[in-house]
Chain A
């Protein structure tokens, strides 16, 4: 026992002893002469060692840059040369599978993070106790992976250059050879894609792994495929039936098991008017203003929380922008806050309610403020440095005589007696750059009224289905406006038609967008990811990361890694998001799903997973364990569409898929259904007419 104390002394002197051990040792020192003497000696030694080692360096020579930095630093740096090289064969026998160990029960490391616990809770909620083993693995993976510092291979110095080093942006050729699972089919087909058997999945995984350089393979390697399959089956058997690997059963989800949702999307009961039938601002007074907004000048990069705080202040909220920011952007370098994040904050961190929608019109803004609901809108502005930024306004009133909205702007400052006047046209111009999305806040008791005043905007799926039509209308009138094309892409991405969305984004980028666009409008990520264009996702994410840390860039990089079968890399990305912003629910959810994907469940395949960022959906997944799309039992309904932005006449209808969710829902995914020759094409409608098949009221 005494030797243990003596062994601890050098670390005590070095200051590297655990606090608990340190306290115990200090107690012991008070009563042990021998240890005190030894301590003295160690202190002298420690001082001498520090002097000796520290005295060796006078100055640090300049660093020779290993690479003349190219635009994104990847030209010569962390290269991927090695990835295309013939695979290294490392297995002793062909039966070895590089597959993560599933059921390894290791002692809980004390550094286990809150995040892991969240993921664990999520998994348990999703899968019952059978998932605990999985959760265990999530927590352990980055702590106990064997073969730690592997980063350097000393053997042949010359060989370093050939060592594969980088992950980002797999070259096209490598992607094809390495990732046989990479879906290249348009998303519309994913629902009908043949399901793989688990054996086939494992084989594919095995092949993928074997083709990778050793460093990128998932450890540990010592599991035979038989052992894996056994373990996989056991784990599957422990799951509730509806959550088991779909590939184990021959068919997709049985449609009979699904609840039937009546009359999806087009007209819900209680809806008082169609989009064009009655003007939303009919009968409103010529001027209205919400009283009691407390102006706050924003702190750096804090326009979102500041606007939210001002809007809530009108309802009597006593918090301020700092309180909102603490939850919304824990890291001071977080440059943008999305509406869905703010909705989450209001719904779950305050006693108020909030909801957000896209595609609003000025008449709706007037209507909402006239009825006393403050509206937060994101806008694009060119500030005095000549640069384009995303910003937030609180719309608190309007004045028809002045033809202006009454707006609180946390950056530009308040007007003379409260709000500033922003001309209708100016607001529309700034707002369209954000697809005219908006958020309202309300007192909980006013929820029904809020939904009433939103009229048809209350129904989120209705808006989603109509989104492309509405965006197209504008797009056709403004063919040179990149934002118009961008909004078309966003609308299609929101509907789940990622291929069409990606084409629209291609066009928008081609027309030229401000370089900060992705800071505030990350929709292209979802589109390119969903369309299976992982290279575009990686390119965008890497470029964005050059400027600093962005949740979206890291998140989507993680999604691509996950889809390509690099769970460790994906986990690192998701973790980095949560280190940066612990409240970024999509990353929490993704982390939980990662464990599933490591079992071979194709969670992350493009087109197979909902990529819609929806506050309520994420919250319901996280808090109530509602599973994401791969486990969705769904209903289908075919909805005819108006001509799309390319002016095609025969526009295929879309298939609306109900996604279970809790809260603001219902949630749907929509895919376009290819027109079958046997079915007569649906009559397309002229664009100028009522852009929807809504029956007249």
Chain B
């Protein structure tokens, strides 16, 4: 197959489920399209899970291989994104078991170069304080926060990915909020 014929160019609006179907039938272009759509989010998730970006990239390839092989069996009971994250999670656990965790690199990149209304700037700095605090959260709480806010999962979906009861998601969110709220209060007090 030399060049990509026009009909193989992925349609940006093609629903995830259709892509999965095509992957199930062995269409590599569909896998490529799914990867382009979800790869970034999955990689972000995996880096959070295995800490080492290079290992995360390897695991991501694993995940896509699993998708390639498993797509035909995907029954559509859960959202495609949930399914992908569930695969990623299990792959990350396997990878972590094989390799000891690496110290997480500190990263303060996206901090406060934005200018704008004063309140926004304040929010931004609050935000970066919370970002720092996030890294000290227990892994399960941070992971839950990410599934809800970054990956946009509903409570039941997050529970499905994590393999826990929906109530557990609720309590993890609650506990994480308590910790982070404390950080915010401390900032308010020192600012005053």
Contacts and interface: CB of A to CB of B under 8 A. Distances in A.
Interface in B28-65: 28, 31-32, 35-36, 39-40, 43-45, 47-48, 53, 57, 60-62, 64-65
B26 A60 contact: no
A46 B152 CA distance: 11
Residue among A49, A54, A64, A150 with the highest chain B CB neighbour number at 10 A: A49
Nearest to A64: B61
B121 interface: no
A149 interface: yes
Given A55-B110, A142-B75, A45 B69 contact: no
A45 B180 contact: yes
Interface stretch (A7-15, A122-130, A598-606): A7-15
B166 to A, nearest CB: 10
Nearest to A73: B26
Contacts of A152: 66, 70, 86-87, 90-91
A152 B84 CA distance: 9
A216 B93 CA distance: 26
Interface string A144-160: 11001111101001001
Contacts of A16: 148, 152-154
Contacts of B109: 55
Contacts of B135: 52
A73 B28 contact: yes
Interface residues of B, number: 79
A165 B72 contact: yes
Given A57-B43, A148-B78, A52 B72 contact: no
Contacts of B61: 63-64
Interface stretch (A403-411, A423-431, A545-553): A545-553
B71 A10 contact: no
A140 to B, nearest CB: 10
B191 interface: no
Interface string B130-153: 110011000000000110111011
B27 to A, nearest CB: 6
Contact of A154 (B77, B82, B90): B90
Interface residues of A, number: 69
B152 A52 contact: no
Contact of B149 (A14, A74, A148): A14
A41 B126 CA distance: 10
A41 B82 contact: no
A66 B65 contact: yes
A69 B1 contact: yes
Interface of A: 7, 10-11, 13-16, 38, 41-42, 44-57, 60-61, 63-67, 69, 72-74, 77-79, 142-145, 148-152, 154, 157, 160-161, 163, 165-168, 215-216, 333, 542, 545-549, 568, 572, 576, 579
Given A45-B180, A160-B69, 6 more contacts: A44-B180, A55-B109, A151-B66, A154-B91, A157-B62, A572-B75
